[in-house]
Amino acid sequence: MPNSGISQNNLLVFFGFVRAGKTHAARLATLALKAVYLSTDVIQEQLINDGVIPSQERYTLERMEQVYDEFFAQAKSSLENGKNVVLDATFAKQESRDRVIKLAKETEANLFVFLVKCDEATIEERIKTGVVH
C-alpha cells in the first residue's frame, strides 16, 4: 500500500464545550487519518449497555472517572499498536488534560490538540433543539 504521507502514532485531541462541534470535527479527522475514534460519550453508553455503569449514575464523579479510565486505556492500547487515535471529549478538568499529555509521552505519540469553539448563541440553540454537531 503506498504511503499516504501521514505518519502513524498520532494522537489528536478535540475538546471544548458541549455542542460546540467537537464530534463533527473529530469524526472528519478520523476519516482522513483512518484513525481509531474514541469518545467519552460513546464509551459511557457502552459501559451502561454492558451493565458496568447503572444509567442513573452516569454523571456521578465516580462513574465519570470510570469512563475516562476506559477512554484512556483504549487510547493507550491503540497507540501502542501504532495506530492514529482521535479523542473526543470535553476535557473539562485539568486532570484529564494532564492525562492526555502523559499518554502522549508514554506512547511517544505526536500530540495535536484542537480547541473547538463556536459562539454562545449557537451552542444555546443546539442545546434547545437537540442538534448535535
pLDDT tens, 101-116? 999 999 999 999 999 8
Q: Is residue 1 part of a domain?
A: no
Cell of 96: 484529564
What integer pLDDT is reported at residue 84 of this predicted model? 97
SS3 content of the chain, % helix, strand, coil (to 5): 50, 15, 35
Cell of 87: 479523542
CATH of the domain at 94: 3.40.50.300
Q: Is residue 70 part of a domain?
A: yes
Beta bridge partners of 114: 14
pLDDT tens, 9-50? 999 999 987 767 888 899 999 999 999 999 999 999 999 999
What residue numbers bound the domain in which 107 lies? 13-129
> How many CB atoms neighbour CB 31 within 10 A?
11
Q: Is residue 4 part of a domain?
A: no
What integer pLDDT is reported at residue 1 of this predicted model? 36
pLDDT over 60 at 119, yes or no: no
Which residues fall within 8 angstroms of residue 52, CB to CB, at 6 or more apart? 66
Q: How many domains does the chain have?
A: 1
- Tell me the CA distances in angstroms from 10 to 42, 54, 79, 95, 121, one per residue in order: 21, 33, 8, 21, 33
Q: Is residue 8 part of a domain?
A: no
